[in-house]
Structure 1
Amino acid sequence: MGSALWLLVLFGIAAAVALFAGNNQGSVTLFWPPYRIDLSLNLVLLLLAASFFFVHAVMRALSALFDLPRQALRWRTQQKERAMHGLLLDAISHLLAGRYIRARKSAEAVLAQEASLTASAQEPANSAQLRAIAHILAAESAQALQDRSAREEHLKGALEQASARDAQGTRDGAVLRAARWALEDREPDAAMELLKSLPQGAARRTVALRTRLRASRQAGQPMEALETARLLAKHHAFSDVAAISIVRGLAIDLLNGAYDVAQLQRAWASLEPAERLVPEVAIHAAQRLMALRGDAQLARDWLLPVWERQASLSASLRVKLVGALEEGFDSLDGGWLARIEAAQKANPRDATLQYLAGMACMRRQLWGKAQQLLTQAALGLQDATLHRNAWRALAELAEQREDATAAALAWKRAAGE
């Protein structure tokens, strides 16, 4: 459609020119004394048009001629920039391939090429960002080669270049890399200081939080590590299973850092409600409280949510729960005894519950019932520690009855003979 319209326009112009030129009787007379020159108006118009196009062509040719040096300079600059970008790609490729010496040389070649262009007043676009990235690549290679002085020198250069307006985003990357290098050198305090220098938005990125988590764990700061792990879990930086495992381990580390009952209670209070319901955490907290000679009733209160769902726990966790409860049996109250008896009656063939109920009855001086439950438990317990404790308790009960034969047999069973 467009071509057809152009043809129509051209035909119209041709028709208009033909009508004008065909009937044009005008003439142009030039007086050049003593001469007189008569020319057709159509010829004059054609000569004027030809002169215009000729002058225009001459001016274009002269402009192109005088522009050759500038074009040659631009071509050389483009070649240098292409070579510089090729060296940058080589540096990245060598770094990924583990060829650190070549990566470092390529990055330093990029810096040299860029300095040459800048010195000749041909500074490339985004030059500050380019220099910063080259410095980071060289520093990364130096870190892999254990050349700490070169790494610090290039890191300083990267941070200086990243302060420019067109390289602000690169500064965060340089700081994060420096924090990672500090962790590799086992310097968590230096890594934490670097992370604190990040803007608030950058400090909440997943990579920054992961680095902070590693730094706080290396520095032995379980509370800081736990708070960071919570943020990472909210950001879905881990799978659900991994998040639970990491938070559980950090919560246990936090509890292990308490060296008196007051510290332990503060550590327990700093945990979130969901974390206190984790069986491993609650059991460990109760065991830690008993090891610090704390209140057994408080330990049982911490264990109560876990006890209420003890039927769904794994065998190993149930054994740990029984051990934690057993440590506070000296002050066992009637309410807990009723809970234990109710659980044992609800599952009478469970050897672990038989053992727990038997030990509770023994501490409450219910000798006959304790002997019955412990005898049944001793025959079915799979855990070696509980099995040994059950026979030891039976031996003590036999000695109390002055049954030397039964006591000797129980002691032998407890010794594993």
Structure 2
Amino acid sequence: MRFVFWVVGLFALAVLIGLASTINTGYAILFVPPYRMEVSFNFLILAIVLLILVAYGVLRLLGIAANLPHEVRTYQRQRKLKASRHALREAAIAMFEGRFQRAEREALKSIDDEYSDENRGLALMIAARSAASVQDMERRDGYLARLEDMPERIQLARHMLEAQIRLDGKQPLEALAAVERARAISSNLTSALRLELKIRLMLKQPEHVLTLTEKLLKADALEAEQARRYRLAAYRQQLASFSSEREIRDWLKRIPGVERQNPALVADIANQLIKLDAYDMAAELIAGALSDDEQATPELARELGLLAGHIDSPRRLTLLRDAENWLKSRPRDHLLLLSLGRLAHAEQLWGKAQNYLEASLSIQPTLCAHAELAKLLLAIDKPEKAERHYQDALKIALENGC
């Protein structure tokens, strides 16, 4: 449609020019001594227009010729830039594919011919990540050092990348320093908080781990099960630092009730108490957990049996009495039966101990139950039966590769 308008317009202009030429009958005299020339005024106008067009064309050609070197340089620059951007895309794809050597190679291609600081920074980060993945620490550190001169806009990404790389390289102190620099730029960045949580756990700083866990949980940046695992790991680190029963008692008062009921934590606390020869408190703690069906686990029942020879007679009798109620809800807990057999054996209740141990073996024959029953039979002067159980224990040990 536009072409039609142009054609119609040109024809209209031609008609107008033709009409104007018929109306204008004047002439012009060109005098250049000793010559004089008379020409039609219409011809003069046409000649002037043609002269202007020719002059414009010549000047245009001269401008293009003069600008040609710049145009060539611009074209070459655009071609290199296009190749640089292509290399950057290939580097990113190769990195996500796990082809780190190619990713680093392509990233380096894009750095020299790239004029955008952000893209150059991105290429350096890809190169640093790739070098770290192939364990080339010298090149990795070189790329990270070059990132220091990049614009402020990419410094947050640079610090987060460095923190992750340092953490993967088992350099928790350097990783923590990088995370702190990132948090100075964005204090509530959840990815930085999660990374710091892992680093604090690696550095065995349980107080920081607990604080960060609660902060991330409130921000919905951590699932409840993950938070539970981090808390448990922090509590275990705190527990390992205690050197007395009193410290553990005071510490237990500060722990939320839900966490105190964690069977895995109870078992760890009991083991630490046993190392400190605090057998009574360990037995008290385990008995409290076994009295709750939600807390009770076979592992806790086994731990209770290991305390049989270290606690006094009144406590053993109390535990035996309480265990009768535990068995009502868990009659087929072979480890609980084994522990009761050990408690009864330590109390020299031979018949009851034998019944518990035989009941444990009827549910699941284990090396410990056979060995415990053999010791009991020797104590009551039944060496032949004891020898049979020793043989059964040896057979189980051999089957398990001992």
TM-score for both structures, normalised by structure 1: 0.65
* Cross-structure match for 2:396: none
Correspondence list, 1:181-196, <5 A: 184=169, 186-196=170-180
Measured against aligned partners, the alpha-carbon deviations of 1:260-290 in whole angstroms (never above 9, x if no partner) come to 2244346555655554433222222123223
User: Unaligned 5+ residue runs, structure 1?
Assistant: 115-123, 399-404
Distance in 2, Cα, partners of 1:346 & 1:173: 52
Deviation at 1:329?
Answer: 5.5
Deviation at 1:382?
Answer: 2.8
* Cross-structure match for 1:300: 284
Deviation at 1:65?
Answer: 2.3
**Secondary structure, aligned partner of 2:324:** helix
**Secondary structure, aligned partner of 1:309:** coil
Query: Quick one: structure 1 residues 28 and 66, their matched pair in 2 at CA, closer, same or farther if it must change by over 3 Å?
Result: farther
Distance in 2, Cα, partners of 1:255 & 1:75: 69
Query: Quick one: structure 1 residues 414 and 58, their matched pair in 2 at CA, closer, same or farther if it must change by over 3 Å?
Result: same
Contact 1:196 1:203 in 2 (8 A): no
Distance in 2, Cα, partners of 1:86 & 1:16: 51
Query: Quick one: structure 1 residues 146 and 37, their matched pair in 2 at CA, closer, same or farther if it must change by over 3 Å?
Result: closer
Aligned length: 381
Measured against aligned partners, the alpha-carbon deviations of 1:50-71 in whole angstroms (never above 9, x if no partner) come to 5665555444333322221211
Give me the identity figure in percent.
16
User: Unaligned 5+ residue runs, structure 2?
Assistant: 393-402
Distance in 1, Cα, partners of 2:93 & 2:159: 22
Question: Counterpart amino acid of 1:126?
Answer: S
Q: 1:156 aligns with which of 140, 145, 155?
A: 145
Query: Quick one: structure 1 residues 388 and 125, their matched pair in 2 at CA, closer, same or farther if it must change by over 3 Å?
Result: same
Distance in 2, Cα, partners of 1:243 & 1:78: 52
Contact 1:329 1:363 in 2 (8 A): no
Question: Counterpart amino acid of 2:372?
Answer: N
Contact 2:283 2:304 in 1 (8 A): no
Query: Quick one: structure 1 residues 64 and 326, their matched pair in 2 at CA, closer, same or farther if it must change by over 3 Å?
Result: farther
Measured against aligned partners, the alpha-carbon deviations of 1:345-367 in whole angstroms (never above 9, x if no partner) come to 34555544444455556677877
* Cross-structure match for 1:68: 68
Contact 2:108 2:127 in 1 (8 A): no
Correspondence list, 1:230-249, <5 A: 235=221, 248=232
TM-score for both structures, normalised by structure 2: 0.67
Distance in 1, Cα, partners of 2:215 & 2:306: 31
Distance in 2, Cα, partners of 1:413 & 1:260: 43
Q: 1:345 aligns with which of 328, 334, 348?
A: 328
Query: Quick one: structure 1 residues 206 and 305, their matched pair in 2 at CA, closer, same or farther if it must change by over 3 Å?
Result: farther
Query: Quick one: structure 1 residues 98 and 23, their matched pair in 2 at CA, closer, same or farther if it must change by over 3 Å?
Result: closer
Asked whether 1:175 is paired with 2:162, we answer: yes
Query: Quick one: structure 1 residues 204 and 24, their matched pair in 2 at CA, closer, same or farther if it must change by over 3 Å?
Result: closer
Asked whether 1:323 is paired with 2:312, we answer: no
Query: Quick one: structure 1 residues 245 and 167, their matched pair in 2 at CA, closer, same or farther if it must change by over 3 Å?
Result: closer
Deviation at 1:336?
Answer: 5.8
Question: Counterpart amino acid of 2:323?
Answer: I
* Cross-structure match for 1:130: 120
* Cross-structure match for 1:209: 194
Query: Quick one: structure 1 residues 253 and 69, their matched pair in 2 at CA, closer, same or farther if it must change by over 3 Å?
Result: same
Query: Quick one: structure 1 residues 57 and 237, their matched pair in 2 at CA, closer, same or farther if it must change by over 3 Å?
Result: farther
RMSD: 5.1
* Cross-structure match for 2:269: 285
